[in-house]
Chain A
Amino acid sequence: MVESKKQWKAWLYLAPALVLLAIFTVWPIFNTVRMAFLENYSGLKAAGGETFAFGIGNFKKVLEYKKFVNCLKTTALLCVATVPISTLLALLISVALNSIKPLQRLLQTIFFLPYVTNSIAIGMVFAAMFNIVGSFHGTQNEIIATAGIVNNVIEFFGGTAVNWINSGSSYAANITVMIIYIVWNALPFKILILLGGLQSINKQYYDAAKVDGSTRSRILWRITVPLLSPMLAYVIITGFIGGFKEYTSIVGIFGATMGPPDDGGRLNTMVGFIYDALSTNSQGRASAAALILFGIILVVTLINLAVSKKNTHY
C-alpha cells in the first residue's frame, strides 16, 4: 500500500514536466513527420477543412527547389570551413594558455568574452567593421573614398579595398566575412573545453618526453593531441551540429534578408529555409526540410563518431 502511494507521488512530481513535454516535444515529433508526408500540407488549408494525400512529394519538391540546394551549399560551406579553422585555432590558443603562468587567468577571461555576447548584436558590430562607410550609392569611387575599418587596415598593408557586404559584393566576400565572424564566435567554447582537457592531462607524460628530448611540435602532435582527442572529438561534433543550424549569425550581419541588399537570400541556410517555408504556411515543405536537416546532422554525427572512435585514445 505504501508502495502504490509512492508511485502516485512520483507521477505527481513528474506531471508538470511530462504534460509540457507531451505538448511541445513529443507531439511535434509525430506531427512534423505526419505533415512531411502529406502532399503540399498547409496549416491554413487544413484549417479550412482540406485533406491531403499521403506521399513523398514534399521531400521531392524541397530537393528540386533551387533555393534549397543553395541553402544546403552555403550551410555546408560554412561548416566545412569554420569547424577546422576554429578547432585548430582553439587548440593552439589552449596549448599556449596552458604553458604560461602570468596573465593566464586574464587571457582566459578575454578569450571567453565572445561567448557572453548576443550574436545578433555583435554581428551588427562586425557588419559595421566590414561595411563601406558613408552615403554609398554603388559607384566605384565612393568605395575607395570611405572604406570602413577592415578595408582601411587592408589598405594600410598595401592591399586593395574589398566590397565585403554591400550592394554588388561577391558571394566569396560574403562567405569570408561569415567565416571570420563564426570562427570568432566559436572560439570561446572550444577553448574552454580544450583547456579543461589539457589541465587534466597527467604531467608525467611531459616529463617523460622531456627526458627523451622530444621537440615541442612532436610533443604537441604525439602526446597532447592524442590525449586530448576525446575533447577534440566533442568540440568537432558539437561544431558540426551547430554549423548545420547556422542562422542568427547571418541575420546579425546581413539582417533578416539573409544577403547583401541587392541579392537577398543569397546566404540563406537550412534553418532559414525552414522558417521561410513556415512563414508562407507551407508546413509540409518546412517539415520535410527539417527532417532532411535532422538526417544530415545524424549522418554527420555518426561519421564523426566512427572516425573519432578509430582515432580517439583514452
Chain B
Amino acid sequence: MASNTIATMKEKNMQSVKTASQIGKVMAMILTYAFLIVMAIIVLFPFYWMINSSLKTLDEYRQSVPTFWPKVVMFSNYAEAFSAANLGRLFINTMIVGIISTILSLVITVITAFAFARLEFKGKNILFAGLLATMMIPGELFTITNYSTVTTFGWINTYTVLIVPFLVSVFYIYLLRQNFMQIPNELYLAAKVDGTSDLKYLWKVMIPLSLPTLISITILKMMGAWNSYIWPRLVANDDAHKLITNGLRSAFTETTGDVNYPVQMAAVALVSAPLFLVFVFLRKYIMKGVSRSGIKG
C-alpha cells in the first residue's frame, strides 16, 4: 500500500518524503547510540568507582559529596591491601590449584573425548547419554555427599580436595568430542595404515586441529579456579590452601562500621585485574567458549 502511494506522488513530494525518512533515520540512529552509551556507562560505572575509591584517602572517601577523582592519589592503598588480605599467598594457592587442575583436566578430557569420538566399544552410546544426563543435576546435590567423601578420604585442607573432585567435566568432554567428530575418519584410518599409534595421532593431528576448543577450556577452567568460592570455603579454609575469592571475602567481612573501604577496593581491583588481562588478550576464545557453554567461570 505504501509503495502505491509513493508511486502516485509527484516528484516534489517524493523529495520531501525522502528527506523526512532521512531525518527519521538519523533520529533513530542518535537514539540508538544514546541508549547504548548510557547503558555502557552504567555497565562501566562500578569499575570506575572501584578504581576511583581505591586511590582515595579514607578521609576523602568519607566526604559527604564524593569526589570523582582522588585529590591525593594513594597508590599505597594497593600495597596495604596486598598485605592486609595476604593476597600474595592467596595468589600462589590459586595459581597452583588452577594450573594443576587445568593440565590434569585437559589430559582426561582429551583421552575421554577421543575414546567417545573414535574408538568402538560396547555400550558407547548409552554411556555417553548417561554422562550427558548428569549435567542436568544441580551441583549442590553432589556437594553434600562429596563433602562427606573427601572428609572420609582425609582430604580436608589439602590441594587435592580443591583439584580432584572437579577434574572431569562432562560438558568439556562433550564439547571436545563434537570437535573431534568433525575431523574426517579417513585421516584416522590412513594413520592406522601407516602404523601410527593412537596417541601419536591424537597428539599430531587431533589436538592441533581442535586447539581453539582446548584454549577455551583452559581459560574457563582457570577462571573457574579464580572465581570458585563455595567449595573452597567448605573444605579448605586454612591459610596454606585458601583460594583468592574466599580469602578476599573473609579479609573484609564487615559490611558496616569503620572498614577501610579504599584499601578494600584496592584489594578488589587487584583480584579483578588478572581476569581483565586475560580477557584483553584472549577475548575471542573466551566469548566463543562462553557462548557454547553458558556457564559462569
A residues with CB within 8 A of B: 6-7, 9-11, 13-14, 16-17, 20-21, 23-29, 31-32, 35, 43, 89, 92-93, 96-97, 99-100, 103, 107, 109-122, 124-129, 131-136, 145-147, 149, 152, 165-167, 184, 187, 189, 192-193, 196, 211-213, 216, 234, 238, 241-242, 245, 247-248, 251-252, 254-256, 260-261, 271, 274-275, 278-279, 283, 286-287, 290-291, 293-294, 297-298
Contact = CB atoms under 8 A, between A and B. Distances in A.
Contacts of A146: 62-64
Nearest to B110: A13
Interface string B130-142: 0100101111111
Interface string B3-19: 10000000000000000
A10 B64 contact: no
A290 B275 contact: no
Nearest to B120: A6
Contact of B49 (A26, A110, A129, A278): A129
Contact of B272 (A26, A96, A118, A255): A118
Given A128-B49, A192-B291, A110 B44 contact: yes
Contact of B144 (A120, A248, A274): A274
A253 to B, nearest CB: 8
Shortest Cβ-Cβ A-B pairs, 5 listed: A213-B2, A28-B145, A10-B121, A13-B115, A10-B119
A135 B115 contact: no
Contact of B249 (A256, A283, A291): A256
Nearest to A254: B255
Contacts of A291: 141
A29 B168 contact: no
B61 interface: yes
Interface of B: 1-3, 28-29, 32-33, 35-36, 39-40, 42-44, 46-47, 49-50, 53, 61-66, 108, 111-112, 114-115, 119-122, 124, 131, 134, 136-149, 151, 164-168, 170, 173, 198, 223, 226-227, 229-230, 233-234, 245, 248-250, 252-258, 261, 264-265, 268, 271-272, 275-276, 278-279, 283, 286-287, 290-291, 294, 296
A13 B198 CA distance: 11
A113 B138 contact: no
Contact of A149 (B28, B49, B138, B233): B49
Contacts of B63: 146
Nearest to B245: A120
B156 to A, nearest CB: 13
A278 B63 CA distance: 43
A29 B228 CA distance: 22
A226 B146 CA distance: 43
A92 B271 CA distance: 32
A124 B134 contact: no
Contact of B121 (A11, A128, A165): A11
A24 B155 CA distance: 14
B101 to A, nearest CB: 12
B230 A275 contact: yes
B283 A120 contact: no
A13 B248 contact: no
Given A122-B272, A254-B255, A152 B2 contact: no
A291 to B, nearest CB: 7
A277 to B, nearest CB: 9
Contacts of B166: 24
Nearest to B121: A10
B288 to A, nearest CB: 10
B134 A25 contact: yes
Given A113-B43, A184-B43, A193-B291, A297 B138 contact: yes
19 contacts: A10-B121, A13-B112, A20-B108, A21-B131, A25-B134, A28-B142, A28-B145, A28-B149, A32-B141, A112-B283, A116-B279, A116-B286, A118-B227, A118-B245, A128-B50, A133-B62, A134-B62, A152-B66, A290-B140
Contacts of A216: 28
Given A20-B167, A21-B168, A115-B290, A122 B142 contact: no
B61 A133 contact: yes
Contact of B46 (A9, A116, A125, A298): A125
